[in-house]
Amino acid sequence: MARLFKDGAGTTYDGTAAKFKNNPFTTFSPYDYGTTYGDASFPTSAALLPGLTAQQLFKARVDNSMAGSMRDCAECHVGGGANEYVPGKSPEVRTSLRDYFFGSAVTAFNYFIDVYGSRGDGFNTDGTPASYAAVQNDYSQTGVLEMDCLMCHLKDYSWEERKKAVRTGKFDASRTTGALLGAASPTDGVNVTYDPLKVVPTGDNSALKLAGTVAGNILATPDSNNCVGCHMAEHAVDWKKRGDTWSGTAEVHYSMGCMGCHKRKDADFSKVGTSGFTGLKGTYGFNNISSASPGDDSKKLGQCDPAKGNGAYESLWNATDNTTKNCSGCHIYGGDFDPATQSVISYETHGAPNPTAAHQAKGLTAKIVQQGGTMNGTANVGHLDLIACEACHSRKLGNFTGGAMVDGTGNDAEGRLADHENENVTRQNMTNNNFMAWQGNKLTAANLSTSLFWRDKNDVNFDANNDGRAGGMDSLLQTHVANINKANTYSLRPGQQLVALTQLGTVTAADISDHINAIDRDLEYQLGLKSTPGSTGNNTKTHVTKLSFMGVTFKTNHDISPADSAWGSGGCGDCHKGSTSASSAGTIGDTTAGGFYNGKFVVKGDTLNMSWTGGGAQVTPFASVNASTQPSDFHPGVKERSGVRSLAVQFASNATTIRDIDRSEGLYENAFKARNTAFNTSISGTAITFPAATSTTTTSQGWLLKIEATNNSGVTVVTRTKQVSALVTDMAGLLTNLGAAFTGTWDGTSYSGGQPEFGIRANGSGLLIEGRNGYSVRIHPQSDAGPLGLAGSLWIDKQYKGITTDQTGAAVATSDRKAWVAYLNSFADPAQQAKTGFGVDPVAQFPAGFPDADPNTAGYQLVVNTPYTLSADTGVNSNGFFTYSLSFTDGTTAGGPSASKTFSTLGTYAVTLKVTDEEGKTATVSRTLNVVNPPVVGMTIGPTTARRGISSTYTFGNLKDHDSLRIIWADGTSTTLPHVGAAGSSATANHIYATTGTKKLTVLVYKNGVQVDSKYNYITVTL
């Protein structure tokens, strides 16, 4: 932590607009730590001992500066940027560190904390430990870290030699030593001695050049080993964060090399930026810094940037994000697919096979799952829409190690301020050892990386890391922790100096107490608050030192397994596997879990054992998430499925050891909730529990109230914000601190002043927020809704509904994670799978009662200018998910299983019914329609219903002139009825049906032995 510039620090509150505004960088003048006393942006400076030198103030406030990062992070970072320049408003005005005049200023650019010593490994050449003093960096002696192109492009480049050079401040020389072209001067970091076999004179001896053997190893496309050295070798950054490796036994793309995917896709370099502009906002607008530099190159790739993926929690922000080739681009589209234009920009795909047919055969494209936050029981996407390719294909087969933890409680063996290399923070076998996480709207493979570190929970008046803000659960500066460790020993491990906790292998509550006690004795000395260490008697503040754990899910993109090893290759039961009991599903006790979205996951390093005193005595949660309503040991950025709420998972802070967790805990909340997005005329909060005036662990200072208001049903939304600026212990104090300019003044009838959209007053022991002037209000999720008593107004219960019934045939609607996992597990059952309809063809069929104005005429007669409802028989499609459409030869169409239709012109038409199932399979059927004038009223038959075994009397009316009738009952019997009647007369007959069903009763009318009329009608016979 270090402050770079004088300006651009923090925010400014605009009381009129009720919002915080960022303070922009304007001068880009390095911040001088010698100006700490009286610095308005560092209000806690008043607590410092008087008379500290600028170097002492730097040491008290900084652990890693820019000059320090050049000795640390630059073992892999290629240089350039702030490793070479003091940044300015634009590239034209930045100044080389070689030339910048710092004078007597002590800044983050020209000073560093000496953590590596002159030997570069935490020790000096005489064997003494590094001083941890604030040391000036003289760039005339060290040189600067210019971008080292050979790090990527020279085959057999040596990172180990580069690391040795940068650790000891030999920045210019590092480019030579890393390339193995020569040796650094023993007295400075600028001069080198070249290897005469690798650097040779030109023909006229006027200059030097690379020997042919070296030049031949400079590759336009970097060798994969160059990438692996920084990214995927054991203990490298992606090994640490993602558990990734690079080997032919673990990666099916190994033969393509890293640049097979990461090489830029614009073969003509049309997307390359050359100006260096990075999107700073200046006089001429965004990306238009001056009239001489109007470019917008921040949106383009740099000249030397490889394409980059889209993993969460990346530290870089530039146009290389999400520009790497992707699975669907190579395997399906043959390039970048633009859904807006339905076009493809082709690139080299290395002959990647198309897996679509295989995916279809496994049901992965069938629309049988739900996407998004609604979870209303309607299947709308396929598995491939919901699950990233890597989630199934990155099995990490091959028995290799990966990172599990980063221990910030002490140095590693090389002097780094945190340890991610000892065996106790390592996963010994990454095979099938992925976690899972949501990124955007997709399920991704991930590695859960957990950091542990010290922090102080005096949230009232102790600025435990000298960042200028008292409280807030400050994490301690790593250099202070390292110094304290060096000066203290364990009580039950005689003579052993304090170390990073995980290095002990087995960590006890007593070991943790030794660290806490040492911090309590010595931290204020490190902070410059007291003159001597070693005692708590001269402390000026109350210390509440705690250990904290933070879990972060880093996306896994590599170690892709062959298709026959992918999740799902063995069918649904590969993933949907585990208990179907809501009491045991989704727990680490479910030993039958599949290991994809459920099953036990070990958080800690495999050989680590830790225990501590519970009840919050030694360990505290990392964060309070979801508007400060739930404690969590997960980073707040680890979200549940809808992306709205953070996953509140405690795997350490509510226990006495690091517990194993179920993978589903990283996907779903224990109890599903959603944001209440409704605007209301008023919001009534619950009782607020205020901290005591003497509390040192809980404070109301910093509580944030953020209110959204609208007067047009959310079309436009106004946001107002206020933060409590001091400890308040009751409702009156809270309202006073919020201020009448924010709350308005209530006179018993109405509000005056304040914000125009709302007013705030007390409602008993809670807050009442009332809309004004036609506005309605709601709570913003960034509010501290928990302590302010507004959680019930912000969050509401949410149910996930199943797309099918459960195994008992009951509808599925639950707010419980374990119950939902049990439902997902049930799809290992073929009977449950069958409910999705996969493998069953759709049927297109019209119902028996299809409209027909004249049943006696062949075909289907519809009367002109008469509305009809034409529909599909949906009952023939049971299991699965179907869409229906009707189309007519007059050009009209209708979505859905039925349509209201009126024909205005006589003629012959056709209607076609199309049924599409969840797999995209279709069935069609057509029917001819004759549109006719209204028919002349003919014979009538009634009734049209009967009861089985009971005699019914049927009347045949409007008969033509006749002398006999023949009645065919459609049950194998008929009746001849001698009957003489004139035109328009009627006749009756009785009949008993012995069976149920639909009977086509037909009447034939005779005169002098000649049939003169006929008519049929359907009789429905029921029990």
- 3-class state of residue 92 by DSSP: helix
Residue environment code for 941-954, b if the CB has 16+ CB neighbours within 10 A, otherwise e = beeeebeeeeeeeb
Please indicate, yes or no, whether residues 85 and 173 belong to a single structural domain of this protein. yes
Per-position DSSP letters for 515-556, written without gaps between them: HHHHHHHHHHHHTTSSS--S-STT-SS---EEEEEEEEEEEP
Reading the block at residue 10, the tokens are: 């923090």
The model's pTM: 0.88
Residues 781 and 906 in one domain: no
Domain extent for 688: 669-797
> Per the structure block, which two tokens stand in for 270?
């049309």
Are 475 and 387 in contact, with CB atoms under 8 Å apart?
Answer: no
In tens, the pLDDT along 844-876 reads: 999 998 999 888 778 899 999 999 999 999 999
Question: Hey, which residues does 898 pair with through a beta bridge?
Answer: 871
Tokens of 13: 């509150």
pLDDT (0 to 100) of residue 341: 86
Q: How many CB atoms lie within 10 A of CB 601?
A: 20
d(CA 648, CA 630): 6
Sequence letter at residue 944: T
Rounded to an integer, what distance in angstroms lies between the CA atom of residue 420 and that of residue 453?
13
CB 787 within 8 A of CB 556: no
The pLDDT, as a whole number, for residue 1020 is: 94
pLDDT digits (tens, 9 = 90+) for 669-706: 999 999 999 999 999 999 999 999 988 888 999 999 99
- Are the C-beta atoms of residues 664 and 656 closer than 8 Å to each other? no
Distance separating alpha carbons of residues 541 and 458, to the nearest angstrom: 9
Does residue 922 sit in the same domain as residue 946? no
Same domain, 210 and 120: yes
pLDDT of residue 220: 87
- Which among 646, 638, 688, 639 is positioned nearest to 792, based on CA atoms? 688
Q: Is residue 625 classed as helix, strand or coil in its secondary structure?
A: strand
CB atoms within 10 A of CB 879: 16
Count the neighbouring beta carbons within 10 Å of the beta carbon of residue 355: 19
Could you tell me if residue 896 is inside a domain? yes
The answer on 896 and 879 residing in a single domain is yes
Looking at the structure, tell me whether residues 945 and 899 fall in a common domain.
no
Indicate which CATH number applies to the domain containing 927.
2.60.40.10
**Of the residues 776, 797, 818, the one at which a domain ends:** 797
Domain membership flag for residue 806: no
HSE-up (13 A, CA, CB side) for residue 551: 34
Query: In Å, how far from its chain's centre is CA 942?
Result: 66
CB atoms within 10 A of CB 829: 15
Q: Are 197 and 210 in contact (CB under 8 A)?
A: no
Whether 890 maps to a domain, the answer reads yes
Total structural domains in the chain? Answer: 5
pLDDT given for residue 544 in this prediction: 94
Q: State the Cα–Cα distance between residues 551 and 638, nearest whole angstrom.
A: 9
Look at residues 772, 797, 822 and tell me which one is the last residue of a structural domain.
797
Check whether residue 527 and residue 556 sit in a common domain.
yes
- 949 in the same domain as 924: no
Token digits of residue 438: 């949501």
Residue 397: CB atoms within 10 Å: 17
Contacts of 933 (CB under 8 A, 6+ apart): 863, 864, 906
So what's the pLDDT on residue 536? 95
Distance from CA of residue 579 to its chain's centroid?
Answer: 27
pLDDT of residue 142: 97
Cis peptide before 842 (omega within 30 of 0): no
pLDDT of residue 300: 55
The DSSP symbol for 498 reads P
The verdict on 925 and 946 lying in the same domain is no
Same domain, 955 and 899: no
The whole-angstrom distance between residue 953's C-alpha and the CA centroid of its chain comes to 72
Q: What's 995's DSSP letter?
A: S
In the numeric block, which tokens belong to residue 717? 């939304």
Instruction: Assess if residue 313 is contained within a domain.
Output: no
Cβ count near 342 (within 10 Å): 7
Distances in Å between the alpha carbon of 41 and those of 44, 102, 535? 9, 22, 30
Nearest to 275 by CA among 250, 243, 300: 300
Q: What is the predicted pLDDT for the residue at 318?
A: 56
Determine, yes or no, domain membership for 324: no
Calpha distance 49→67 (Å, rounded): 26
Same-domain pairing of 737 and 881:
no
Regions of the chain short of the pLDDT cut 70: 266-305, 313-321, 471
Residue 410 located in a structural domain: no
* DSSP character at residue 937: P
Q: Which residue has the tokens 């190893």?
A: 217
Q: Give the C-alpha separation, 627 to 790, whole Å.
A: 9
- pLDDT attached to residue 211: 96
CA 512 to chain CA mean position, Å: 34
Instruction: Name every residue whose Cβ is closer than 8 Å to that of residue 197 and which is 6 or more positions away in sequence.
Output: 211, 213
Task: Report CA Rg, the chain.
Answer: 38
Residue 743 in any domain: the answer is: yes
Give domain status of residue 455, yes or no.
yes
Same domain, 898 and 980: no
**522's tokens:** 């010595």
Q: Can you tell me the distance from the alpha carbon of 446 to that of 433, in angstroms, rounded to the nearest whole number? A: 9
Domain boundary (880, 912, 932) is at: 932
